[in-house]
Amino acid sequence: MVIACEFLFEELAKRFEAYLIETKASWLRLHFSEVFQKSFQNNKFQELQNWCNDIIVKHPEKFFESEGFTLIQENALISVIKRDDLQMKEAKIWKHVIEWGIVQNPEIPSDPKIWSNDNFLTMMTTLQNCLPHIRYFQISSDDVIDQLLPYRRMLDDNLWDDIFKKHLSPSKQVSSVILPPRIVLTQNLPPRTSKPFSKIINEAHAAEITSWIDKKADSYSAINYPYEFKFLLRGTRDGFTPASFWNLCDKQTNVVVVAKIKGTDEILGEYNPIGWDKSINRNFMSCDESFIFSLRNGAIQNSILSRVKNSKYAIYCHPSYGPSFGDSFEYVCDLMFFSFSQCWNCQFSYEKRIRNDNYSPLSFSVNEYEIFQISKKS
């Protein structure tokens, strides 16, 4: 997209921009910082700039407190702070703008109490295009004293007087331009019980799993994925018995299993649309839609999806084991929970091994596990 624009192929660049937004939203979020900065290197990428800013205004803390915040270009910063719907208190916006300005001038001390006249003049010049977008009259009285007062010399005398007049008498007319207050957005979240549905996975994990089930290119949103997770079984390694699994899960369809791995940040899981059948004792069930996975969590940067490649050996049923997927070789499957109090992951009948390469042992233990049956929301 950037290269197309550099060669003045503007129509092609616009097509690339639209393609990214419409079909690669998950990729854009994964590389958000780089995408955001690239989009503001050329003012022709207006749609991508707006897409980025629509995310930032709803979650501004992640943007302002990120490591790369002070490295962004001035036009990128202005595009955010001028938004009427930026969901952050004005005093905090002011604080981050000052922080950005100081980093642009490394010779200026961080403490304004020891700034010289030249320091103030330098900062006023650096921030001259940012300061008009601060909603000074929306800053609380306490924050005016704590946040604005140290930088008093950066503000116009008339503006400073009007700020205090307005706080002392809100109905009093002032000569300074008063920008409208920022709009406070209300989030329309679906009704949820007071307790989270899972102790292991969150709504974003659930959205990703259901996106894999529906084979969507982009993940569902964490607030509108179209499935319900019905709790079937929860426990710890010490509390697990194959009998409890078979009593509750035998012949249950559309089952999701998730487990927190002992000693790591890993969350491993599996999806079985056809269920397990205890009556076929020590045999396989064929399935084309099953998959196993590792979810992004903590130190695990990216989720891993591994779909079945040899459907004949998709599901393994053994009365002495827990939920098991893939070919069996001396009690080892692609993913097997609770075989002789151990769990196993290797690579036979599914596309790839889902454990991080740093974790080389085939066997592992879990701290806790959960099993759900999923269905389409009515």
Give the pLDDT confidence of 51-100 residue by residue, as tens digits: 999 889 988 988 898 888 999 999 999 999 999 999 999 999 999 999 99
* Residue 178 pLDDT > 70: yes
**Domain interval for residue 314:** 203-376
Query: Is there a single domain that holds both residue 162 and residue 219?
Result: no
Query: Is there a single domain that holds both residue 229 and residue 353?
Result: yes
228-243: pLDDT as tens digits? 999 888 887 766 778 8
**pLDDT band, residue 374 (cuts 50/70/90):** very high
- Indicate the SS3 state at residue 60: helix
Task: Examine residue 176 and state whether it is found in any structural domain, yes or no.
Answer: no
Last residue of a domain, one of 168, 191, 214: 168
Res 68: pLDDT: 84
Query: Is there a single domain that holds both residue 164 and residue 207?
Result: no
Query: Is there a single domain that holds both residue 138 and residue 246?
Result: no
Task: Examine residue 114 and state whether it is found in any structural domain, yes or no.
Answer: yes
Query: Is there a single domain that holds both residue 35 and residue 145?
Result: yes
How crowded is residue 94: how many other Cβ atoms within 10 Å of its Cβ? 22
**pLDDT band, residue 155 (cuts 50/70/90):** very high
* Residue 35 pLDDT > 50: yes
Lowest mean pLDDT among 22-26, 313-317, 339-343: 339-343
Last residue of a domain, one of 168, 190, 215: 168
Query: Is there a single domain that holds both residue 270 and residue 154?
Result: no
Task: Examine residue 179 and state whether it is found in any structural domain, yes or no.
Answer: no
Lowest mean pLDDT among 60-74, 216-230, 243-257, 353-367: 353-367
Q: How many percent of the chain have pLDDT more than 70? A: 93
Res 315: pLDDT: 93
Task: Examine residue 184 and state whether it is found in any structural domain, yes or no.
Answer: no
Query: Is there a single domain that holds both residue 153 and residue 58?
Result: yes
* Residue 330 pLDDT > 70: no
Count how many Cα atoms sit within 13 Å of the Cα of residue 202 in the half-sphere of its side chain.
7
Task: Examine residue 180 and state whether it is found in any structural domain, yes or no.
Answer: no
Q: How many percent of the chain have pLDDT more than 90? A: 48
Task: Examine residue 157 and state whether it is found in any structural domain, yes or no.
Answer: yes
Query: Is there a single domain that holds both residue 152 and residue 216?
Result: no
Total number of domains in the chain: 2
Orientation of helix 74-81 relative to helix 46-56, angle to 10°: 60
Task: Examine residue 178 and state whether it is found in any structural domain, yes or no.
Answer: no
Query: Is there a single domain that holds both residue 341 and residue 287?
Result: yes
Query: Is there a single domain that holds both residue 274 and residue 336?
Result: yes
Taking the whole predicted model, whether its pTM rises above 0.85 is answered as: no
Task: Examine residue 348 and state whether it is found in any structural domain, yes or no.
Answer: yes
Last residue of a domain, one of 168, 189, 221: 168
Query: Is there a single domain that holds both residue 153 and residue 208?
Result: no
Sheet holding 283-285, edge to edge: 283-285, 315-317, 324-325, 335-339, 342-345, 363-364
CA distance 246 to 75: 60
Query: Is there a single domain that holds both residue 162 and residue 216?
Result: no
In sequence order, what are the beta bridge partners of 375?
Answer: 228
